[in-house]
Structure 1
Amino acid sequence: MRRFRFGVTARVVAVLAVLGVAVFPLYWMFVTALSSNSDLFADRPRLMPDFGQFGVFVDALAEGKAAGWLLNSLIIAVGTMVLSVGLGIPLGYALSRFSFGGKAVLTVVLLFTQMLPEALMVVPLFALFRRFDLLDSLTGLILVNSAFVLPIVALILKGAIDGIPKELEEAARADGARPFTTLTRINVPLIAPSIAATAVIAFFHAWNEYVFAVTFIFNPDLQPASVGIAGFIGELGTPIQTVMAVAFLFTLPAVAFYLLVQKYVVSGMTAGAVKG
């Protein structure tokens, strides 16, 4: 009985320790945002927030552009997620189920694109976007982010579809189902955890992206939060409380989204590792 209690206690302590490590950066941003200048440079840092300084959040949302930045980030992230997953499902299905010339080469190319740094593609993409009038637009950022995250989305979904017995599709085809019907009514429900996992990957890729956003967006009203926060850093000084307040607000939607779908992430990422 004592061993059982000790084991439970050890697990609870371990979980609380991991949770503390994960949550502490978010808490520290909140405390720093609600600290005065004297608290920031004190010998003993403040560990509890000073709610008398809460006006920094109000100022960031009401008088600043933080609300607009967060909305832009949300539009870009959701748009990228929908587009990349929407294209990744049929692409992953094609790579898994169809045989065509150049299939192996295409798979290698998809893997190779994951090794290319974003900075390497800035100049050619800038010229391409200028030609098609996609500079200074959220649509352009959605397209470029989707292009960069699509390969990993397609490969993960391919692995998930590989784990689905082909007999299910053969039975559906025997009943007259077409490939599109087979994909949407048989495969998609079975790979739902993998779809959720790739949606998380696409969302966070676009949510945190900085290089393309700072290069292709000139209008401050169209900047995502990742660029807006960096704009606070100046040569003569940096409003630390404001930076931390906006960073805290920037982190909350991403954390909330992950908590909603986190139970699918592990199962989705491992789907297809062992064929059924």
Structure 2
Amino acid sequence: MNASPLSRTLRPLAVLALLGLAVFPIYWMVVTSTTPSSELFAQRPGLLPDLGQIGIYADVFRTIPVARWLWNSFVVAAGTTVLSILLAILPAYTLSRFRFAGLAVLGFALFATQMLPEAMLVVPLYAIFGKLSLLNSLLGLVLANTAFVVPVITWIIKGAIDGIPLEVEEAARIDGCARIDVVLAIVLPLIAPTLAAAAVIAFFHGWNEYVFAQTLISSEQLRTASVGLASFVGELSTPIHAVMAVGVMYTLPAVVFYLFAQRYVVAGMTAGSVKG
């Protein structure tokens, strides 16, 4: 059924409107970051960035350790992403393909971990990490974030594995493939879109996490960007446009990673699982 001319006109307009709503916060951050403090509270604020003030970004790098904050956040986010996916693949496959006593309890236990807020676990984690010499360590922060992300990713991957026909695996087993080879060579390529989505979830959690980063890290050299941005609260010596410039630099890497991963999600969704 062909769409009407009105529908063909309204759809692009609706997409543009939604895109504008999504992009506008970032655009307004850029505008604010290039607006001098004396003009931020004017009755008619400027709607376009002042390119003459673009030097604020260079000034921020010279006066604030933004590069180190961003690098620490990237290490934590990347480590959380890789470790979470590696630890979630085999449990997800087990929940999907095996039946054994206690399976329902294991599945419920994974869900139950999401019922506890991070703030309730800060004190016990602090005590445990102290005994393991993981305090004030990016590795400890990666492990803490991974513990929260793995249950969610496990269920996401399990749902994707459930959609793979058993006949595909049985054919590979008949050809002599071991179980682990089936998982690595057949199952994982077929669920590539889900792995990309799981990577986005894990990366965003590691990138945006604040409670553990604030509690488990005390060294300024290991401070993440989320904690660094929060440290501006209550400081009158830091101009608002400088804070907003840091916010822009904190936001863009996450957006770029999402756009990068989205390509693989779309590519995987359009690929067939079985060629014939």
Shared topology, TM-score over 0.5?
yes
SS of equivalent residue, structure 1 residue 111: helix
Shift of 1:81: 0.3
Shift of 1:239: 2.4
Moved more, 39-48 or 18-27: 39-48
Give the AA of the match of 2:101. G
Give the AA of the match of 2:33. A
Cα distance 1:143–1:26, how it changes in 2: closer, same or farther (>3 A)? Answer: same
Structure 1 residue 52 and structure 2 residue 52: aligned?
yes
Shift of 1:100: 2.8
Distance 1:118 1:266 in 2: 33
Distance 1:209 1:263 in 2: 25
Distance 1:243 1:187 in 2: 45
CA contact (8 A) 2:77 2:207 kept: yes
Alignment of 1:183-194 (within 5 A): 183-194=183-194
Where has structure 1 moved over 3 Å in runs of 4 or more? 235-238, 263-269
Distance 1:207 1:231 in 2: 16
Q: Which residue pairs with 1:164 in the alignment?
A: 164
Distance 2:220 2:232 in 1: 12
Structure 1 residue 148 and structure 2 residue 170: aligned?
no
Structure 1 residue 104 and structure 2 residue 104: aligned?
yes
Give the AA of the match of 1:55. G
Structure 1 residue 233 and structure 2 residue 226: aligned?
no
Distance 1:145 1:53 in 2: 37
RMSD after superposition: 1.8
CA contact (8 A) 1:60 1:246 kept: yes
Shift of 1:4: 4.1
Distance 1:175 1:48 in 2: 63
Distance 2:265 2:241 in 1: 34
Gaps of 5+ in 2: 270-276
Distance 1:210 1:102 in 2: 35
CA contact (8 A) 1:194 1:267 kept: no
Structure 1 residue 126 and structure 2 residue 120: aligned?
no
Distance 1:27 1:54 in 2: 14
Shift of 1:8: 2.2
Number of aligned residues: 267
Distance 1:231 1:200 in 2: 26
Structure 1 residue 86 and structure 2 residue 86: aligned?
yes
Q: Which residue pairs with 1:37 in the alignment?
A: 37
Distance 2:236 2:60 in 1: 20
CA contact (8 A) 1:193 1:268 kept: yes
Distance 2:34 2:236 in 1: 22
Q: TM-score, normalised by structure 1?
A: 0.92
Distance 1:132 1:104 in 2: 32
Q: Deviations over 1:235-266 (max 9, x none)?
A: 54652111110110011111111112225558
Q: Which residue pairs with 1:115 in the alignment?
A: 115
Q: Percent identity?
A: 57
Q: Which residue pairs with 1:28 in the alignment?
A: 28
Distance 2:260 2:109 in 1: 33
CA contact (8 A) 2:76 2:207 kept: yes
Distance 1:229 1:200 in 2: 22
CA contact (8 A) 1:72 1:138 kept: yes
Distance 1:61 1:67 in 2: 7
Q: Deviations over 1:13-52 (max 9, x none)?
A: 1111101100000000001011112211111111111122
Distance 1:131 1:242 in 2: 39
Give the AA of the match of 1:25. P
Shift of 1:232: 1.3
SS of equivalent residue, structure 2 residue 115: coil
Distance 1:192 1:12 in 2: 30
CA contact (8 A) 2:37 2:239 kept: no
Structure 1 residue 257 and structure 2 residue 257: aligned?
yes
